[in-house]
Amino acid sequence: MFNKKLISRLLGAGLLIFPLNVSADRGVFDIDRWYEVMDNIRIKAAKQNISKDVVNATFRSPAFIPSIIKSDRNQSEFKLTLDDYLKRTVSSKRVSEGKKMREVYPTMLSKVEQKYGIQPHVILAFWGLESNYGTYKAAHKLTDAFLTLIYEGRRESFFEDQLLALMKMADKNDLDINDIYGSWAGAMGHFQFIPTTLMQYGADGNGDGKIDIIHSVGDAMFSAGNYLNKLGWNPNEKIVRKVVLPADFDVGLLDGKTKKTLQEWAMMGVTNPDGTPIPITEMMAGLVADVNAVFEKRAEIAAAASVDDINVNYMDTDIAPLPVIEAYLTYPNFYRIKRWNSSNWYAIAIAMLADELK
């Protein structure tokens, strides 16, 4: 369906970007594969009644971006400690900027709370972590990002769905699809929604009849509020509670997956940081801690005492006793955050930042 002579002219004009050696699987760039990707999207777009104007705009000057393939294949393993992660994400500067944004958008934040039941400090916490209150500069035109990732093929169906959803949103809201930028993986706007999430939860916050989460803070806030509301957010519940555990506590219980009643946790020695009892309610909760840090501390003390077994019972030896373990009780809202982002540490950071912005 694509005119190869036209493609050649675009190549000559520098409007298509092809590397000499893109994929270890395919060797040199496979231009036939590139044609196939674009043809398939055209066919599927037609079946989904996406307008010709949006389809033509999508393929006006398609670019393959080699750096996106590199990013997708070399996602670095997360290595920060929980403390370092929180220092980075819940910095004094981010807290200060969040408080300023509360003063800039009091009416919009109030409208979100009235309509969706999501408190201003919670919306601000997500905004702060996702885009640093809109100051994050998107690097890639999303049509190019998705076409590149579809070509790569590792998650072809997923990224096809994202591109088609993006085209539908551009069509429905009369947006210039070539003016929609985001991350290399396709997240966009103030709250870094992917297109399929936006399709499901996008909301018009400024009353102009369109949904544009990139250029409208109101649309972005309403969409975030709608999403959290649909996830079941409870404004009357805490997200996490910082607690301490006995030094010999079973670290296998600290990944947030094991849930017990608060009374059960209390009976296992979970207390507030000052040693007072935790509040006892009917609520179920999990526990999350930086397990690697716990093991490292145990190993350090064992090494200092020339003990090989890091699981030794420290209470029965002359080894210096370990300090208590710092952890977080994780309540139902914590797990709602994890449906937004599956990282335990992200959810804790949202909780900490939200508390600072109350």
The mean pLDDT value of the chain amounts to 88
Q: Please provide the DSSP assignment of 24-37 as one string.
A: TTTBS--HHHHHHH
Lowest mean pLDDT among 38-42, 77-81, 296-300, 346-350: 77-81
pLDDT attached to residue 47: 97
Mean pLDDT of 147-175: 96
Q: Could you tell me the maximum CA-CA distance found in the chain, to the nearest angstrom?
A: 80
pLDDT attached to residue 77: 54
Residue identified by tokens 């250029």 is: 215
Q: Does 7 have pLDDT greater than 70?
A: no
CATH 1.10.8 fits 4-74+139-178, yes or no: yes
**25: which residues sit within 8 A by CB, 6+ positions away?**
none
pLDDT attached to residue 37: 96
**164: which residues sit within 8 A by CB, 6+ positions away?**
41, 44, 45, 48, 50
The alpha-carbon radius of gyration of the chain (Å, integer) is: 25
DSSP conformational letter for 315 = G
Q: Give strand ranges (E) for 46-149.
A: 140-141
Q: Give bridge partners of residue 307 from the DSSP assignment.
A: none
Q: At what angle do helices 31-47 and 142-152 cross, to 10 degrees?
A: 120
Return the number of other C-beta atoms located less than 10 Å from residue 16's C-beta.
Answer: 18
Return the number of other C-beta atoms located less than 10 Å from residue 51's C-beta.
Answer: 15
- Say what percent of the chain tops pLDDT 90: 75
Return the number of other C-beta atoms located less than 10 Å from residue 299's C-beta.
Answer: 12
pLDDT attached to residue 21: 38
Which pLDDT tens digit goes with each residue over 94-151?
999 999 999 999 999 999 999 999 999 999 999 999 999 999 988 899 999 999 999 9
Residue 23: φ, ψ to 5°: -125, 130
Q: Does 313 have pLDDT greater than 60?
A: no
Lowest mean pLDDT among 120-124, 207-211, 299-303, 310-314: 310-314
* 218-to-17, 63, 168, 202, 224 alpha-carbon distances in Å: 36, 31, 21, 11, 10
Mean pLDDT of 3-12: 47
Q: Where are the domains of the chain?
A: 4-74+139-178, 240-330
CA distance 220 to 127: 9
Token pair of 124 as six digits: 């601000």
Residue from 291, 195, 193, 220 nearest 249 by CA = 291
Token pair of 273 as six digits: 């940081």
CA distance 255 to 251: 8
Mean pLDDT of 336-356: 97
Query: Tell me, what amino acid is at 291?
Result: V
Residue from 211, 55, 213 nearest 147 by CA = 55
Q: At what angle do helices 156-172 and 31-47 cross, to 10 degrees?
A: 50
Distance of CA 293 to the CA centre of its chain: 24
Q: Does 10 have pLDDT greater than 50?
A: no
Which pLDDT tens digit goes with each residue over 237-291?
999 999 999 998 999 999 999 999 999 999 999 999 999 999 998 889 999 999 9
Which pLDDT tens digit goes with each residue over 277-305?
999 988 899 999 999 888 888 787 777 76
Residue identified by tokens 């207390």 is: 271
Mean pLDDT of 152-159: 93
Q: Which helix (H) or strand (E) holds 240?
A: strand 240-245
